[in-house]
Amino acid sequence: MTLFDHLGVKDPFPFIDKEPYPVYRNRWRDLLRGKLKKSFKLEFNKKFDSKLYNDEFYSNNYSRTLKNAIKLLKTVGWRDDPYDRQHWGNWLHSLSPYQGRMTPSLAHWLIKIFSKKGDLILDPFMGVGTVPLEADFLQRFTIGIDLNVYGYVVAKGKFERKSIDYYLNYLKEMRNIDTSEIDISGVSDWIQAYFHPKTLKEIVFLNKKLRDEKEYFLLSCLMGILHGNRPGYLSVWTGCIIPMTPRPVSHPKYRPDKDKPEYRAVIPRMAAKIMRMYSTGFPLETNARLILGDARKIELRDDTIDVVICSPPYYNTLDYVGQNRVRLYFLGLNREKQVDLRQELIQDSKNYLDDMITVGKELKRVVKDGSLIIFVLGDVHRTKYSINTAKEVSEKYQQLDFEEIAIVNDEIPLNKVVSRSKRKKFDRILVLKNQE
Ligand SMILES: C[S@@+](CC[C@H](N)C(=O)[O-])C[C@H]1O[C@@H](n2cnc3c(N)ncnc32)[C@H](O)[C@@H]1O
């Protein structure tokens, strides 16, 4: 007698008992029996860290002046313990990965140093919404824009605040659905290579349902566990940020333990993901507006924004489409549409400065007089030379009547640098002021 006979329901995912990892078989059973919350070992009842998010930075002895802000920026240890811990702050930041995501603790300090409660903060390149999320936790109003639908979906997911029981019940309802008949013949071959066919059927079914029902949080959870290199992910062994292509059987170095897809049940992994996301808690009310749109054409009224905080793309260094190709596919962008999106994004070095000038003109229009614009920009390294992107952008923005207040160098520790070169690498924090 199977568990489902015992519960008197049809086995929803008839292959669940083929799930190779006992921990996920148990998660599924706990979910169906309503015992998941109890069985989960995380510090589940830990409250939202209101001290971290309530305390303002400035005091009577340390007044809010631009000079003090720059001094603080040079001294806050946002790369030191505890800020450098992988899941510092709030688990929601880890909803789904993104290459080039801003470190949440940096977003935290930039917001604390350069804005105050009640300000309206704009991030015109929000990616997966790191700045809007921290801004919201810090009781600022916030608007985020990105042209990449994957970033937009995940950012939306971070602001969809329903109760955990709603989500667990939603997953539980899946017990009435039989995914064995789902047709996956239309799924592109390069996507099929990542997944066991039975896992893929479940993904295709759930993905469509979540997209149709605009369940952004659950959709982001699905995106978050889609591919990676541990049993909690749904794919063959690959990167959780960048989906390196699995080797086909014909490859001379084919690795059956890594390249051969095994069945992995989707729902228990989703349930475990939800539990992690809720483990640090969050306020239910949010003050964010998120836009799937272009920073070169900002759909906001004039003179409305108090502070801009963002990390713009820089000179062709990261490919926000190629690196998200599997996730974008499930959000409706086949290869051709991905090519179109890549052309739309600011990431091509030829047009880079012109595009950033267009963005600057829009920012000039939407920010209030005297507002600050904070850009986190990395240098770009070529074999024989480096480009100081912050300096180049600053020169162009001064022509638009922004004043350069400071460029603060942030040396990236060598263990965080992707290349093997021993050359020092910098992110630079460019602080500009809209002339009054
Ligand atoms: C360095 S990432 C920002 C990451 C973000 N701070 C985060 O924490 O996730 C730059 C972002 O700019 C976006 N982007 C590129 N061109 C854009 C455009 N024209 N309008 C809006 N966003 C754009 C990319 O999709 C990418 O998400």
Say if residue 32's pLDDT is above 60.
Answer: yes
Q: Any idea where the domains of the chain sit in the sequence?
A: 3-16+162-272, 50-159+282-434
Residue that is written with structure tokens 């997911």 in the block? 157
Q: What is the pLDDT of residues 321-365, one digit of tens each?
A: 999 999 999 999 999 999 999 999 998 778 999 999 999 999 999
Q: State the pLDDT confidence band at 17, using cuts at 50, 70 and 90.
A: low
Peptide bond into 197 cis (omega under 30): no
User: What percent of the chain is predicted at pLDDT more than 70?
Assistant: 90
Res 180: pLDDT:
81
Pocket probe mutation, ligand 1, options 146, 347, 358, 380, max atoms within 8 Å of Cβ: 146
Q: What is the pLDDT of residues 40-85, one digit of tens each?
A: 755 555 677 878 888 777 766 667 889 989 998 888 877 788 887 7
pTM for the model: 0.93
- Residue of the nearest CA to atom 12 in ligand 1? 125
Ligand 1 atom nearest to 314, measured from its CA: 1
Q: What is the pLDDT of residues 266-306, one digit of tens each?
A: 999 999 999 999 988 888 889 899 999 999 999 999 999 99
Q: How far apart are CA 221 and CA 346, in angstroms?
A: 27
Q: How far apart are CA 25 and CA 218, in angstroms?
A: 20
Across the range 309-326, mean pLDDT stands at: 91
What is the Cα gyration radius of the chain? 23
- What is the CA(312)–ligand 1 centre distance, in A? 6
Q: Classify burial at 134, counting beta carbons within 10 Å of its beta carbon; exposed 0-12, middle 13-18, buried 19 or more.
A: buried
CA 62 to chain centre: 34
Q: How far apart are CA 122 and CA 135, in angstroms?
A: 10
Element (H, E) at 380: strand 380-381
- What is the CA(310)–ligand 1 centre distance, in A? 9
Residue list, ligand 1 pocket, CB within 6 Å: 98, 100-102, 125-128, 130-131, 145-148, 151, 294-296, 311, 313, 320, 345-346
Task: Calculate the average pLDDT of the chain.
Answer: 89
- What is the CA(150)–ligand 1 centre distance, in A? 11
Pocket probe mutation, ligand 1, options 88, 102, 125, 223, max atoms within 8 Å of Cβ: 125
Backbone angles phi, psi at 363, to 5 degrees: -65, -40
Which candidate, 109, 231, 101, places its Cα nearest to that of 154?
Answer: 101
Res 5: pLDDT:
60
Helix spans in 183-233 (H)? 189-192, 197-212, 216-225
Q: How far apart are CA 30 and CA 429, in angstroms?
A: 47
CATH of domain 50-159+282-434: 3.40.50.150
Least confident range from 122-126, 256-260, 313-317: namely: 313-317
